[in-house]
């Protein structure tokens, strides 16, 4: 991140990075980054089966899942042993092409430097196991998939309401139910097989939590783009403050992350990412400038009648955190 130096003046002509953590202001980033290489995942096969989760994190289907990257929202923290809850992650048709375009731009920029071929994982190859094995080896990560997170209806451990008796947990308050859960356990990403059956412990092999991501060693990663919905949204759980997929990436050692603030449409996201990587690798723009230029391209697009092709919500929700260069 670099060392922080105070200044009495304000320079309105330069966009300075925001440093949110005390360590970012005082400790020089000395991590060695991996040589140029990219892992890009998209067009993931979540399988056609609906996951039935007994006594585990549960969710209902998000009807917009086929056109946005939000996946399923959790409707209950835990189900009793007598009940089953379901979630479904819908297909994202634009993400396979998006993952492949990332690889093409990487080749355009790094082919002459002797960089290895980009690793493009789609369908069932885009598994959680592949991500855990390959991500620490690459300098750039691009994940075009669904994100999931628990709703704000269970806001904090201070909520003393009794859970509905239909849940079969009479007498337990939300505080009792949430107190043992880290906030990073209640958000995550979907990989291949995320709609599969849960094991005896209620775990689904294609689902990865933010806590599991934060435990990885990604100190060699310069940039990770989470091309999914609401990956910047924070969760307040267990009295442990706010957690999100963005914070999980930085906790794992990622230098720069690009995440979203709300649900993003599939087609607009694909076009924005296409332009971002063209700006970043082909035109060699700094990351912040590349993202801004990509947003401006979508903002300025007009149809045959002179009306904007994309709305503000289609492109404005993408944010960069960490090193802006």
For residue range 241-286, what is the model confidence (pLDDT) as tens digits? 445 788 899 999 999 999 888 887 888 889 999 999 999 999 999 9
Q: What total number of domains does the chain contain?
A: 1
Distance, CA of 215 to CA of 204 (rounded, Å): 18
Give the pLDDT confidence score for residue 18 in this predicted structure. 55
Over 90: is that where the pLDDT of 7 sits?
A: no
Are 41 and 131 spatial neighbours (Cβ–Cβ below 8 Å)?
yes
Over 50: is that where the pLDDT of 169 sits?
A: no
Distance, CA of 222 to CA of 134 (rounded, Å): 15
Q: Is 106 part of any domain?
A: yes
> Which residues does 89 contact at the CB level (< 8 Å), separation at least 6?
46, 65, 71, 72, 146, 148, 190, 194, 195
Q: Rg (Cα) of the chain, in Å, rounded? A: 20
Who wins on pLDDT, 161 or 73? 161
Are 112 and 55 spatial neighbours (Cβ–Cβ below 8 Å)?
no
Over 60: is that where the pLDDT of 141 sits?
A: yes
Give residue 215's pLDDT band: very low, low, confident or very high (50, 70, 90): very high
Give the pLDDT confidence score for residue 289 in this predicted structure. 97
Q: Which helix (H) or strand (E) holds 258?
A: strand 256-260
Give residue 91's pLDDT band: very low, low, confident or very high (50, 70, 90): confident
Q: Token digits for 251?
A: 């906790």
Q: Is 14 part of any domain?
A: no
| Domain CATH for 126 | 3.40.50.1460
Distance, CA of 157 to CA of 154 (rounded, Å): 8
Calculate the CA 233 to chain-centre distance: 9
Give the pLDDT confidence score for residue 51 in this predicted structure. 43
Q: Is 76 part of any domain?
A: yes
**Cβ neighbours of 220 (radius 10 Å):** 19
Give the pLDDT confidence score for residue 144 in this predicted structure. 93
Q: Which helix (H) or strand (E) holds 242?
A: strand 242-243
Burial-class residue 81 by CB neighbours within 10 Å (0-12, 13-18, 19+): exposed
Q: Is 212 part of any domain?
A: yes
CA dihedral defined by 145, 70, 56, 200, rounded to 10 degrees? -20
Residue with tokens 């332009």: 275
Among the listed residues 140, 176, 78, the one whose alpha carbon sits nearest the alpha carbon of residue 290? 140
Who wins on pLDDT, 232 or 92? 92
Who wins on pLDDT, 117 or 94? 117
pLDDT in tens, 272-324: 999 999 999 999 999 999 999 999 999 999 999 989 999 998 899 899 999 99
Q: Is 16 part of any domain?
A: no
Q: Is 18 part of any domain?
A: no
Give the pLDDT confidence score for residue 266 in this predicted structure. 80
Range of the domain at 146: 30-152+182-322
Distance, CA of 283 to CA of 277 (rounded, Å): 9
Alpha carbon separation from 12 to 9, 16, 25, 216 (Å, rounded) = 10, 9, 21, 38
When pLDDT is averaged across residues 219-229 and rounded to a whole number, the result is 90
């Amino acid at each position: 991140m670099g060392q922080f130096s105070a200044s009495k003046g304000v320079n309105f002509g330069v966009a300075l990075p925001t440093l949110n953590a005390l360590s970012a202001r005082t400790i020089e980033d000395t991590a060695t980054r991996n040589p140029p290489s990219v892992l890009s995942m998209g067009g993931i096969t979540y399988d056609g089966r609906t996951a039935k989760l007994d006594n585990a994190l549960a969710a209902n289907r998000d009807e917009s899942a086929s056109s946005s990257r939000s996946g399923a929202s959790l409707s209950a923290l835990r189900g009793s042993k007598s009940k089953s809850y379901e979630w479904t992650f819908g297909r994202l048709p634009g993400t396979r092409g998006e993952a492949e375009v990332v690889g093409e731009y990487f080749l355009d920029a790094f082919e002459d430097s002797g960089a290895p071929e980009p690793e493009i994982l789609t369908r069932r190859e885009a598994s959680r196991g592949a991500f855990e094995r390959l991500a620490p080896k690459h300098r750039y990560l691009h994940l075009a998939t669904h994100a999931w997170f628990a709703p704000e209806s269970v806001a904090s451990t201070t909520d003393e309401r009794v859970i509905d008796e239909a849940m079969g947990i009479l007498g337990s308050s939300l505080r009792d139910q949430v107190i043992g859960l880290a906030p990073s356990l209640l958000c995550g990403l979907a990989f291949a097989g995320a709609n599969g059956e849960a094991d005896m412990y209620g775990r689904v092999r294609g689902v990865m939590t933010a806590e599991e991501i934060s435990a990885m060693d990604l100190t060699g990663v310069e940039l990770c783009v989470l091309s999914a919905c609401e990956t910047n949204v924070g969760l307040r759980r267990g009295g442990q403050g706010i957690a999100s997929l963005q914070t999980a990436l930085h906790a794992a050692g990622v230098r720069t992350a690009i995440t979203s603030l709300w649900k993003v449409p599939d087609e607009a996201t694909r076009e924005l990412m296409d332009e971002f990587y063209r700006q970043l690798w082909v035109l060699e723009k700094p990351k912040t400038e590349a993202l801004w230029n990509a947003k401006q391209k979508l903002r300025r697009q007009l149809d045959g009648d002179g009306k904007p092709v994309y709305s503000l919500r289609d492109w404005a929700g993408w944010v960069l955190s960490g090193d802006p260069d």
